[in-house]
Amino acid sequence: MARSVDERLIAELIDAGSREHYADAALYDYEYRRRRADVTFYRELATKRLGGPGRLLELGAGSGRVTIPLARDGHEVVAVDQSQAMLERLRSRTESLPNAARSRITVVEGELCTFRAPGGPFPLVIAAFNVLEHLYTRGELAACLARVAAHLAPGGAFAFDVQMPDLAWLVRDPTRRWAKTRFTDPVTGRAMFYSTNHDYDPVNQIVTIRLYYDPVDGKGGGRVVKLTQRKYFPAELEALVAAAGFRVVGRYGDFFWAPLDGGAESQVLVCERAGQAPKPRRKSPRRR
């Protein structure tokens, strides 16, 4: 049966929201240059799970914000992403690394639901910085988790983070602009204003965020970048993971190994395949 016009428009909007935010890799890196806590978490997790330098698979690797520190730690990283702009940025950054670290990174173009990565199976698979929020239906999440399972070594772990849904934020007035910030464009050097607003579909649990970039001098017009995210509530997420044949062995509310609670901004899950013997684990590292 042919889809209705509304269904096609929604699908096109979601597709755009999966791509546009990642098309300007230099601006992306600039915006998230201070985001370091999750990088530290995944480095600590890799040390804990692998017991030293090892092999891991990273989904949604982007420009290498997590990939490169892991490679510098001595790990062999297969980095998967679908964005050409981000892959080009990752390859460029990789080329500037010392030979030893550069040789430990393998860049693969692939989509979350269909990827095939060389060098498996892997004792650790990660998906950092809300990557799974680009899986908008139960079917897409199940397909991705099936691919993860196919690449995971016995006793291996899959770790990822998504945001904790913030109900007050979700129902904000979509006609107002929020989070207005002045910044300098890293490529053009132009003074810009950044602001956002969004719409939330409570049935499909999808947020469509609009990122506005407007020149401070008001000349030349601005641009709007779309970003779409699927919001997962904690009990729902645990059930979806279980339905895909995984069990949660660690669940945290931040990147400092704190328990998940109602005030958390993120849900950080570490999962293993259900039915396999638990792998002995050391106590989770905590920051002093």
Q: What is the pLDDT of residues 194-240, one digit of tens each?
A: 999 999 999 999 999 999 999 999 998 899 999 999 999 999 999 99
Q: What is the pLDDT of residues 233-288, one digit of tens each?
A: 999 999 999 999 999 999 999 999 999 999 999 999 999 999 876 555 555 555 43
Query: In whole angstroms, how large is the CA radius of gyration of the chain?
Result: 19
Whole-angstrom distance, CA of residue 66 vs CA of residue 70: 6
pLDDT at residue 191 in the model: 97
Q: What is the pLDDT of residues 59-116, one digit of tens each?
A: 999 999 999 999 999 999 999 999 999 999 999 999 999 999 999 999 999 999 999 9
Torsions phi, psi for 191 (to 5 deg) = -75, 130
Exposure of 33 by Cβ count < 10 A (0-12 exposed, 13-18 middle, 19+ buried)?
exposed
CB 75 within 8 A of CB 94: no
Q: What is the pLDDT of residues 129-187, one digit of tens each?
A: 999 999 999 999 999 999 999 999 999 999 999 999 999 999 999 999 999 999 999 99
**CA within 13 Å, CB half, 235:** 1
Question: Is a pLDDT exceeding 50 seen at residue 5?
Answer: no
pLDDT at residue 12 in the model: 74
Helix axis angle, 138-151 to 234-243, nearest 10°: 50
- Could you tell me the sign of the dihedral formed by the alpha carbons of 139, 144, 149, 155, in that order? negative
What token pair was written down for 121? 């199976």
Q: Which of 179, 177, 141 is nearest to 269 (CA)?
A: 141
Global pTM? 0.92
Question: Is a pLDDT exceeding 60 seen at residue 9?
Answer: no
Torsions phi, psi for 161 (to 5 deg) = -135, 145
Strands 122-127 and 223-230 come out as: unpaired
pLDDT at residue 16 in the model: 83
**Burial state string for 35-52 with b = 16 or more CB within 10 A and e = fewer than 16:** eeebbebbbbbbbbbbee
Place of tokens 């993971």: 241
